[in-house]
Chain A
Amino acid sequence: MSNALEFRSVSVVTAAGRSLLSDVSLALGEGTVTAVLGRSGSGKTTLLRTANRMIDPTRGEVYVDGRKVNDAPLVDLRRGIGYVIQETGLFPHFTVERNVGLVLEAKGTPKLQRTKRCEELLRLVGLDPAAFSNRYPHQLSGGQRQRVGLARALAAEPGILLMDEPFGALDPLTRAEMQDMLRALLQHLQTSVLLVTHDLDEARYLADRIVLMSEGRLIANLDRDEFLQSSRPEIVDYARAYHRSRTSEASHPEPGSRA
């Protein structure tokens, strides 16, 4: 089986000499979902950003569909990779439809086709096109914005989807809803997903493979079930720390949390 995305001995060192990633190797099989777990600052976002060359590795290589990412024209590479982030990054001056169709617009797809594709995608992420196509981002709830962000990422039928804490800013109920939607959606698509999250439950629920990172290193890379049953101290530590934080979160709900 060929790999949709592969990192080979990737290291990233900042100009100031700080090491963000050291010698990370990871391969994503086609159509699989890989969750990268880790605390803030563990390098998981940096790793994700080397895939669409938002960051270039200091050493090592990244391959998409067996081709080095540096060999493809940058713009083509990025248009072929879906990108979803916590802040959604929807453009406030565009309607939902224009946001969703933006990658296609950039590629020169005619408007009629874009509109059709946008309707298709909105239905796919659970939004009624008639009600949402002409809204602006400020007229949407957090969950709806995330859905639109996902629709935009899928518009050009990317082989790879990069998701960086996609549901991190949502309240627990909306987050669960979004996870259900994403899981159902991914079953229909042949997209390979790199999901960066600190949420062990999210990784468990969505991923085929779970990777754990710490201080710029990849310290575990296992099948989901192996990961969950693993007794390796670093995995057990992470799981324990995660569950402790969840318990305290439940007993002291954030006052300002919103949908």
Chain B
Amino acid sequence: MSSKFLSQYGDQIATLTMEHLWLTTAAMLFATAIAVPAGIWLTRSPRWARPVIGMANVLQTIPSLAMFGFLLPLPWLGERAARIAIVALTAYALLPILRNTYAGIRGIDPTLIEVARAIGLTDAQRLFKIELPLAASFIFAGLRTATVTCIGIATIAAAVGAGGLGELIFRGVASIDNRLVLAGAVPAALLALAADGIMGFFERLTTVKR
């Protein structure tokens, strides 16, 4: 890319990258706040696990452009494109986080859970001292998948006017300008790689040796 191109579009790329990050981060925060507690709850009421994880799975299956389309006519959501984008991205992020939180805790050696109870830890102590730390690497693996997915799908949010790096891609496609397409695609890909690396680091950091 020429320096002329960069000086012309540099500011825009930076702004749209920030927008992209903001959409993804907001969605990830919402999704984590919903899916981690829900996953914990499912380990306490396992008979709900199938229907609830099944529902998250259905959300995951809806094509992204269709999802944005569904949300567009809704009263409060439809007014602001960013709201639609965040809700849709949150929906996509739920499944990997929910599934990994549930599986991570359920996968802990039952002897350890039993000992935690037998030596007199309260339910909260068992959760925070034993279960969450032992399931942490699984939960981070879920967050990693969810973040990378969100960054990818966020590019499509530009279709409903929510901004983000997808805007450059769509504009580039419309004006048959490959440089413009790349100006959106390359930073989006880099964001995804960076997120993958960072979350992967936390995943390894919390992995427990046995």
Contact = CB atoms under 8 A, between A and B. Distances in A.
A92 interface: yes
B122 interface: yes
A80 B118 CA distance: 10
B44 interface: no
B34 interface: no
B117 A91 contact: no
A79 B120 contact: yes
Contacts of B120: 74-80, 103, 106
B134 interface: yes
Chain B contact residues, majority secondary structure: helix
Contacts of A78: 117-120
Contacts of B208: 92-93
B112 A89 contact: yes
Nearest to B206: A93
Nearest to B125: A106
Interface in B118-138: 118-122, 125, 129-130, 133-134
Contacts of B14: none
B130 A89 contact: no
Interface string A141-185: 000000000001100000000000000000000000000000000
Contacts of A153: 119
A186 interface: no
Contacts of B129: 102, 105
Nearest to B134: A93
B111 A54 contact: no
Interface string A53-79: 010000000000000000000111111
Contact-residue bracket for chain A? 20 to 34
Interface string A91-134: 11100000000110110000000000000000000000000000
Given A78-B117, A83-B118, A103-B120, A93 B133 contact: yes
B173 interface: no
A52 B120 CA distance: 9
Interface in A81-95: 83, 85, 87, 89, 91-93
Contact of B112 (A75, A76, A77, A91): A91
A85 B115 contact: yes
B209 interface: yes
B115 A83 contact: yes
Chain A contact residues, majority secondary structure: helix
A77 B130 CA distance: 20
A27 to B, nearest CB: 22
B208 to A, nearest CB: 5
B134 A54 contact: no
A237 B208 CA distance: 46
B139 to A, nearest CB: 14
A242 interface: no
A165 to B, nearest CB: 13
A258 interface: no
B107 to A, nearest CB: 13
A91 B118 contact: no
Contacts of A227: none
B50 interface: no
Contact of A54 (B112, B118, B130): B118
B114 interface: yes
A13 B90 CA distance: 47
A75 B122 contact: yes
In the A-B complex, the 10 residue pairs with the smallest Cβ-Cβ separation, listed nearest first, are: A89-B115, A78-B120, A79-B120, A93-B208, A83-B118, A92-B210, A87-B111, A75-B120, A89-B111, A138-B209
Interface of B: 111-112, 114-122, 125, 129-130, 133-134, 208-210
10 contacts: A54-B118, A78-B118, A83-B115, A83-B118, A89-B112, A91-B134, A93-B208, A105-B129, A106-B121, A106-B125
Given A54-B114, A92-B209, A152-B119, 4 more contacts: A54-B118, A78-B119, A80-B120, A85-B115
Interface of A: 52, 54, 74-80, 83, 85, 87, 89, 91-93, 102-103, 105-106, 136-138, 152-153
